[in-house]
Amino acid sequence: MDIQDKIIAITGGGGGIGRALAEAFSRAGARHVVVADLDGAAAEAVARAIGGTSFTCDVAREADLARVVSETEKSVGPIDLFCSNAGILPINPDPENAASSPNGEWQRAWEVNVMAHVYAARALLPAMIARRSGYFLNTVSAAGLLSQIGSAAYATTKHAAIGFAENLALTHKDHGIKVSVLCPQAVGTQMIEGKPMNGADVDGILSAEQVAQSAIEGLARESFLILPHPNVAKYYAMKSESYDRWIGGMAKLRRNAAARTR
């Protein structure tokens, strides 16, 4: 996909990867960039800086996402690329118990990390199918391919997000609709501030700007998997080659991470 002259919408665009994507798309010649975020003031600041528009949006509310889509398409034009980027990272309160997060945290993670992608697709697909074009870029995580030590809710919902993106891609390929998933490991954003890395930074912490550049390159190739940390492909292959060996390696990584925090 060539970003030039495209209308693009981004959730979670007020900071982190979302902000970096908005700025990168603007520099790459997008016709218009829509920035949506739970923090409306942050979204407005990013949009003002790049000459776009902003929305206050809770992606866990289907009506909010539907409003972003309908108002954008009414006032600006059809959305060419929708970046479903917002996400949350709950941490297991008891690191020795994978089921320790309360039901409310599981539910919120499900709504933000999975259902937000579904709601965006539901709002956009009818028009995209009719014109036989459109693109979804879903920010997921390497945790969706591998796992996330210390956060069962994050790992589980990110796996589910990959599953939905796969189904979105295979169902709508013949409609001319394309899908990519952006799957970095650790990124230096507010999401990870003050939280244990538990090995997620094994290949270094990238900047949001580096991840945005990887996204633009992956979109140009129209790759389903966009991996800012290239080693993720190797780890994913190892996982599929021998699940037992991979689980043993991850358990060792967890053990070593726990020892460093004592």
Categorize the per-residue pLDDT at 201 as very low, low, confident or very high, splitting at 50, 70 and 90.
confident
CATH code of 46's domain: 3.40.50.720
| pLDDT tens figures, 61-86 | 999 999 999 999 999 999 999 999 99
Residue 196 has pLDDT above 70, yes or no: no
Question: What pLDDT, in 10s, does the model give residues 159-195?
Answer: 999 999 999 999 999 999 999 999 999 898 877 666 6
Please give the full DSSP string across 229-241, using - where no structure is assigned: STHHHHHHHHHHH
Domain assignment of residue 130, yes or no: yes
Sheet holding 81-84, edge to edge: 53-56, 32-37, 7-11, 81-84, 134-139, 177-182, 225-226
Helices (H), the chain: 16-27, 40-50, 62-75, 103-110, 116-131, 152-172, 208-221, 231-241, 243-261
Active-site residues: which are they? 154
Q: What are phi and psi of 123, to 5 degrees?
A: -75, -30
Global pTM value:
0.94
Does residue 261 fall inside a structural domain? no
Residue 260 lies in a domain: no
Helix axes 16-27, 208-221, angle to 10 degrees: 50
Q: Are 117 and 164 in contact (CB under 8 A)?
A: yes
Structure tokens at 67: 């409003």
Bridge partners, residue 109, by sequence? none
Assess if residue 258 is contained within a domain.
no
**Looking at 54-58, 131-135, 187-191, 218-222, which range is the least confident one?**
187-191
Range of the domain at 47: 7-230
Domain membership flag for residue 148: yes
The Cα 197–Cα 126 span in angstroms is 40
Instruction: Tell me, yes or no, whether 79 lies in a domain.
Output: yes
Confirm whether 105 is domain-assigned: yes
C-alpha closest to that of 155 among 210, 214, 101, 84: 101
Total of domains in the chain: 1
Q: Is residue 240 part of a domain?
A: no
